[in-house]
Structure 1
């Protein structure tokens, strides 16, 4: 067997072991529960901007970006901009690799791939920092509710110019809001690409951890995911991703478009 293929097969066996280990799965959920009051996700930056993500999830995004090679990444929820910067840098690497393979010179002022971020409130200090970042030429931002018809229309107009699209949902985490986002933006996802729904872990955490929020168990991104899938057969949950990660904010949140 080819050594590369042998290694890939070993990795798949490793993941099978993780999936079958119920005790380890439970331990991982316990770790996430115990670390949540410490705002663990707030402690990391990407190229200088706070990302408010688990490092494992950023690594999973990198794997998907390399696999899918999207032309456009759509993200709801901007906050400090670290996630936008992360996605933009991954797309920059794709453009660099493509240019190298073709023997072309890459012009960073004319990026071929782009990240589109949507947020109901892009605070002035965050906008200023994002616009000053070297990755900003790859970023476009829309201020407005992600589920408002006007915003959805603007996003669809941008998406019409791209072929391979990946979507990340990470704004308001209530069931109704996330379900509306899924209905608006999942159709833009290209076949074999993903719609990643973050913070589905809210459903599996004690209600006390979200007692000061409008969302919680039973009213969460995960409940929205399962409601969406009941009426939509074009997507399936890729559970091997979150089972492989173990530590993730997105259990059942990696939705692959299969049709």
Structure 2
């Protein structure tokens, strides 16, 4: 066994141990509940743009992008654009590392890999900031509901020809909307890749933290995930990611396509 193999085995044991530690998992849920009123996820930026994500989840996404090497990342929900910029920068690293290995020079104005963001309301100041960002050539945006059949058809047309696709869902968090997104975009996910459903943590939060919103107990991304999996055996929850992260807005939300 090489030193690298030994380290990988050690990490696997660490993650398995985390998966068995019910007390720690409960503590992680308590921490998430207590930090939620402070809007902790609002405090982080990626390359200058607010990302509104937990750093743990961003790190997990980075690992998946490196392993999957997607040609296209589809994201529903844009907000300030930090997540789009994050994904675009990860794809840029892939393109440039592969070009370097081949001894090629890339034209930054014509990137190989891209990110496609969909949002029902792309506010003008956010659009301007994203379109003026250095990662802008790698980012396309569509304004409209992510479950509107016309929007879904446009996304499918843009995804045509992409060999490896990864999808991130982070828009309207009601059961029906997320389930509609899963049904619409899961077929685009390539085998071995993922569809990540964010804010499944809503199911674990007290109603007082939800506020006057149309989602909550009984109608949230996690209930949509469970309903989707009942009729889609080609997707499974990657529990290893949950065990590894402990603190995440997407528990049971990392869905891997196995067939």
For this structure pair, what is the TM-score category when the shorter chain's length is used for normalisation? over 0.9
Q: Distance in 1 between matches of 2:109 and 2:242?
A: 36
Aligned to 2:66: 66
Aligned to 1:92: 92
User: When the two structures are superposed, what TM-score results if normalisation uses the length of structure 2?
Assistant: 0.99
Q: Distance in 1 between matches of 2:37 and 2:243?
A: 23
Aligned to 2:29: 29
User: When the two structures are superposed, what TM-score results if normalisation uses the length of structure 1?
Assistant: 0.99
Q: Distance in 2 between matches of 1:241 and 1:2?
A: 25
Mapping 1:231-246, distance limit 5 Å: 231-246=231-246
Aligned to 1:226: 226
What is the CA-CA distance between 1:221 and the residue it aligns to? 0.1
What is the CA-CA distance between 1:226 and the residue it aligns to? 0.3
What is the CA-CA distance between 1:208 and the residue it aligns to? 1.1
User: Residue deviations 1:186-220, cap 9 Å, x none?
Assistant: 11000000000000000011111113111002110
Structure 2, unmatched stretches of 5+, are none
The secondary structure found in structure 2 opposite 1:112 is: coil
Q: Distance in 1 between matches of 2:22 and 2:114?
A: 40
Mapping 1:74-223, distance limit 5 Å: 74-223=74-223
Q: Distance in 1 between matches of 2:211 and 2:137?
A: 39
What is the CA-CA distance between 1:56 and the residue it aligns to? 0.4
What is the CA-CA distance between 1:9 and the residue it aligns to? 0.2
Structure 1 runs (4+) deviating above 6 angstroms are none
Aligned to 2:258: 258
The secondary structure found in structure 1 opposite 2:75 is: strand
Q: Distance in 2 between matches of 1:227 and 1:208?
A: 25
The secondary structure found in structure 2 opposite 1:104 is: coil
Count of paired positions: 259
The secondary structure found in structure 1 opposite 2:147 is: coil
What is the CA-CA distance between 1:161 and the residue it aligns to? 2.4
Q: Distance in 1 between matches of 2:193 and 2:18?
A: 24
C-alpha RMSD of the superposition: 0.5
Structure 1, unmatched stretches of 5+, are none
The secondary structure found in structure 2 opposite 1:78 is: coil
